[in-house]
Amino acid sequence: MDFNSTVKGSMLEGFYPAGWDMAKIDACCDPNNKVEERQSFWNDGFTPVRCENIGEFDTYMGHEIALEIKAARDRNEKIAFILPVGPMGMYKWAVYFLKEWKVKCDHVYTFNMDEWSDGEGNTLPATDPAAFQNAMREAFFNPLGELTVPENQRNFATRDNLPTYPEKIAALKAEGAKLVLVYGIGRMCHIAFWEPHFAAEFESVDEWKKQCYRLGAKLHPLTIEQNAITSFKSRTTLVPCRANTIGPGLFLQADYAIGGADGAFNRGMQWQGMSFWTTLRHGPNMWITSTFIPTLPGKLFYLKDLEGPLVAECN
C-alpha cells in the first residue's frame, strides 16, 4: 500500500512538511541499504560508528567529547562546543575521562543549542527541573568540580544571550578555536530545534544556511511527542510547544561534529530508525535539517537496532 495515497484525505494531510518527498524518504529506509556504504555527499571525514548497546554508546560519545577537550588543552588552544541536552549519558563519561586525565576546562567555551521557551523567547527559570541550564549543570558542569568550565564561558539559549552567539563564536574562531558540534537527531530530522517546516520561509538554501538562531520557534507536533516520550515520561501536557534554538548559520560552521542516535527501546520498538537512515541516505535538503550532517567531518554514534531492517513487526 502506497503511503502517499493513504495520506490523501486523512488527518495527516498537510501534517508533514511540504518539501518532504515521502517516497524518497521511504527509499532511504530500504532494508538492503548498508550503513558502511559511503555516499557521494558525505564528507571524507564523516564516519558512522556502530554501538552494540547504550553502555557503549554513552562511553564512546563521552570519550570523544573528552578527547577533543584534552587535545585542545595539549595544543594550548581554546575550544568551543555547541552542546545538546539529549543524548545525556555521554556527559557522565566525559566527566569521568576528564577527571582521570586531570584536564582542567578553563580553555573550554560552551553554547547550549536550545532551550524551552514561550512565543517571545522567554525561557524557564534556570533552576527548573525541565530547564536545559539545570540539566547541564547537574550532568556536566557540577560533576567536573574544580576542573569545570568557568561560569562566564558557559552560554545558554536565553532570550538575551542567544542573539550574542554568532558574535561570540566568530570571535573564538578568529582566535583559532575549534568549533565542535555535539548533536542528536530529532524524530523530524531536526538538529537543535531547527525544524524542517522553517524551510517554507526561505527562497533558497543559501538564505536558509545564513539563519543563526530563532527565538520562540514553533515546534512540530512529532517533536513535542518525541520529547514527551524521552524527557517527560509520556506527559505531553508538560512539554512546551516552542523553543529558542540555534540555526544552520551556526551549526554548519562546525569544524568537527559528534553525533548520537540512541532512539531504540525494548521489545524491538524505536522512534529514530527512519530519521537515522534519512540523514545518511537522502542528501542535503533544507526541508530535512539533519541531511546536512554527513557533509561535516565527525562521528555519528548509533545503536545497532537503528540499522533495522525497518519493517512491520507487532510488539
**20 assigned to some structural domain:** no
Q: Please, are residues 188 and 262 in contact by the beta-carbon 8 Å criterion?
A: no
Handedness of CA 272, 277, 279, 282 (dihedral sign): negative
φ, ψ dihedrals at 264, nearest 5°: -120, 140
> What is the rounded distance in angstroms from the CA atom of residue 136 to the CA atom of residue 164?
20
Task: Say which CATH number the domain at 294 has.
Answer: 3.40.50.1360
Q: How confident is the model at residue 33 (pLDDT cuts 50, 70, 90)?
A: very high
User: Quick one: average pLDDT of 135-147?
Assistant: 98
66-97 pLDDT tens trace: 999 999 999 999 999 999 998 999 999 999 99
Matching residue, cell 552567539: 165
Count: domains in the chain: 1
**228 assigned to some structural domain:** yes
Q: What is the pLDDT of residue 226?
A: 96
φ, ψ dihedrals at 142, nearest 5°: -65, -45
**266 assigned to some structural domain:** yes
**34 assigned to some structural domain:** no
163-218 pLDDT tens trace: 999 999 999 999 999 999 999 999 999 999 999 999 999 999 999 999 999 999 99
Question: Higher confidence at residue 110 or residue 312?
Answer: 110
Q: What is the pLDDT of residue 1?
A: 61
**187 assigned to some structural domain:** yes
**208 assigned to some structural domain:** yes
For 4, the 3-state DSSP assignment is helix
Q: What is the pLDDT of residue 12?
A: 85
**215 assigned to some structural domain:** yes
206-244 pLDDT tens trace: 999 999 999 999 999 999 999 999 999 999 999 999 999
Beta strand 178-184 pairing with 213-218:
unpaired
Q: How confident is the model at residue 300 (pLDDT cuts 50, 70, 90)?
A: very high
Helix, strand, coil % in the chain, rounded to nearest 5: 40, 20, 40
Is residue 271 packed enough to be buried (19+ CB in 10 Å), middle (13-18) or exposed (0-12)? Answer: middle
Residue 315 has pLDDT above 80, yes or no: no
Q: Please, are residues 241 and 255 in contact by the beta-carbon 8 Å criterion?
A: no
**24 assigned to some structural domain:** no
| Structural domain span for residue 172 | 45-307
Neighbours of 51 (CB within 10 A): 21
Task: Provide the whole-model pTM.
Answer: 0.97
Residues with Cβ within 8 Å of 140's Cβ and at least 6 positions away in sequence, in order, are: 83, 91, 94, 95
87 upstream amide cis, omega within 30 of 0: yes
DSSP symbols for 43-112: -TTEEEEEESSHHHHHHHHHHHHHHHHHHHHHHT--EEEEE-SSS-HHHHHHHHHHHHHT---TTEEEEE
> What is the rounded distance in angstroms from the CA atom of residue 212 to the CA atom of residue 155?
15
> What is the rounded distance in angstroms from the CA atom of residue 260 to the CA atom of residue 165?
23
